[in-house]
Homo-oligomer: A and B are copies of this chain.
Amino acid sequence: MTAKRDEKRKILRTKLIDAAHNRIKINGLPELRARDVTSDAGCALGGLYTAFDDLDDLILHVNARTLHRLNTALEKATAGRDPSGALHALALGYAAFARSNRTLWDALFEHRLDRDTPDWFQSEQISLLQNIVGPLARLQPALTESELHLRARTYFSAVHGIVSMSLQGRFVGIPGKALRAELDRFVEFIIIGSAAQAD
């Protein structure tokens, strides 16, 4: 019976994830400090290393949560739509999520991990792709599973590029005001192109 210990551990882990989530949300991943997180979570600095392997491990848990929230948002946005509508909704939903979760979303791509991606994280990544594979499969029923996955990755990468460049405000990014319209047009091109190819 180690129930009490297990419970305390679980609570501490949650507190730390919550604290890191909030810190990233407010100041962004580059400003995240182990000392701030532990003091927010109400434990000692060393406590972090009993609950997680290290700071990177904690960040990974925050990112998994963010990815999960993104997947939920995208599922909601596409629910009950026809394939084209779903693709449009995915792109706009992605942009909307990125904008309103800016720093957390940035953390998803800023964070480099040297170790292998753990299973519980990979499953969230797979869900993300599945959200795209679904509509694509209905749009192009002739494609094989592996072609679909390839197309979904290309499609995701392209939309991600457009959204991230725009939000970063880089020279090559498009102005925020034009983002929605450009994304809509862009998705339409993809749909038209797919239809043309299917003929």
Contact = CB atoms under 8 A, between A and B. Distances in A.
Interface of A: 117, 122, 125, 128-129, 150-151, 153-154, 156-162, 164-166, 171-174, 178, 182, 185-186, 188-190, 192-194, 196-197
A173 B190 contact: no
Contacts of A128: 172
A155 B190 CA distance: 12
A162 B161 contact: yes
Given A128-B172, A165-B157, A188 B193 contact: yes
A172 B156 contact: yes
Copies of the chain in the assembly: 2
Contacts of A182: 150-151, 154
B162 A157 contact: yes
A101 B130 CA distance: 33
11 contacts: A117-B171, A128-B172, A153-B165, A157-B172, A158-B159, A159-B161, A160-B172, A161-B161, A161-B165, A189-B189, A189-B190
A153 B162 CA distance: 8
Which of A172, A178, A190 counts the most B-chain CB atoms under 10 A from its CB? A172
Contacts of A171: 117, 122, 125, 129
A158 B158 contact: yes
Contacts of A189: 189-190, 192-194, 197
Contacts of A194: 189
A188 to B, nearest CB: 7
A154 B186 contact: yes
B161 A173 contact: no
A182 B150 CA distance: 8
Contacts of A174: 150, 153-154, 157
